[in-house]
């Protein structure tokens, strides 16, 4: 295989890989406590789609609409039978909270603190990858310096001189490549997943507080629909033919890019 006239084997330089990947790992070990670094395999799994499954926005809104009808008939205690069907830990704990207390301010404080804790945990996970993306290119420069120092020691031997210079540039290439094609994109993926989950959590918080407040199903549905994009709103009501929501969503969608 040839890359712009260079063989792929030219990139197989053990010293360059050692400087970049071992150096990045060492920098992370110094920067973060072991309790955070132990989550690295789990974070990799999340990046590639193996994390906890969170319900979609429309699924959550439909569930809360159903529960609002139940609460109007049986009160908050009527939700106890629904707990066994809820798989999401955050939603289940929130449901237990509003059943056990009538203080809506207390419920709101607890739920928002839980959301903040989730957000902070996500931030720390993404930070590991963004820091790795910062270290790797700098280590690439370090690898280039080491390679050039070795090259200066082999000025009399043309063959060794060429190998040393190649190693210097390979280290730079690996540092930039791993930083901007591997680590930073992974960090951005975690941030995107976090943003989506936090939005779902806020919908859950609003829904739980609305149940505790005693809103009817229609009021609650209107309240939670503000979290849907115009396209999601149109899709949600397209199969039911609910003109009020569909026409509103289509009008908004026409002004969205």
Bridging pattern class, strands 6-7 and 2-3: antiparallel
Q: Which residues contact 73 (CB under 8 A, 6 or more apart)?
A: none
| pLDDT top residue among 247 and 204 | 204
How many CB atoms lie under 10 A from the CB of residue 28?
A: 17
| 73-106: b (≥16 Cβ within 10 Å) or e | eeebeebeeeeeebebebbeebbebbbeeeeeee
Structure confidence at residue 247 (pLDDT): 47
Whole-number pLDDT of residue 5: 55
pLDDT of residue 255: 37
Least confident of 105-109, 168-172, 226-230: 168-172
In this predicted model, what pLDDT tens digit does every residue of 227-241 receive, in sequence order? Answer: 998 888 888 877 655
Q: How many helices (H) and strands (E) does the chain have?
A: 12, 2
Please compute the mean of the pLDDT values over residues 173-179 and round it to a whole number.
94
């Amino acid at each position: 295989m040839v890359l712009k006239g260079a063989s792929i084997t030219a990139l197989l330089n053990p010293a360059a890989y050692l400087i970049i990947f071992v150096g990045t790992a060492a920098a992370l070990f110094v920067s973060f406590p072991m309790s955070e670094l132990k989550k690295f395999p789990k974070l990799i799994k999340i990046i590639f789609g193996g994390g906890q499954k969170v319900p979609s926005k429309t699924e959550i809104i439909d569930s809360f609409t159903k529960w609002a009808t139940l609460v109007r008939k049986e009160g908050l205690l009527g939700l106890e039978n629904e707990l066994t069907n809820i798989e999401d830990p955050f939603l289940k704990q929130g449901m237990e909270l509003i059943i056990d207390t009538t203080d809506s301010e207390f419920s709101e404080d607890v739920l928002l603190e839980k959301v903040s804790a989730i957000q902070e945990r996500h931030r720390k996970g993404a930070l590991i990858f963004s820091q790795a993306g910062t270290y790797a290119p700098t280590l690439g420069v370090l690898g280039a310096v080491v390679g050039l120092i070795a090259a200066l020691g082999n000025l009399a031997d043309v063959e060794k001189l060429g190998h040393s210079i190649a190693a210097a540039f390979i280290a730079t290439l690996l540092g930039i490549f791993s930083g901007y094609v591997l680590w930073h994109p992974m960090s951005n993926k975690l941030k995107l997943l976090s943003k989506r989950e936090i939005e779902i959590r806020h919908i859950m918080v609003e829904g739980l507080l609305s149940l505790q407040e005693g809103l009817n199903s229609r009021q609650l549905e209107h309240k939670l629909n503000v979290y849907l994009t115009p396209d999601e709103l149109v899709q949600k009501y397209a199969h039911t033919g609910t003109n009020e929501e569909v026409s509103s969503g289509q009008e908004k969608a026409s002004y969205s890019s």
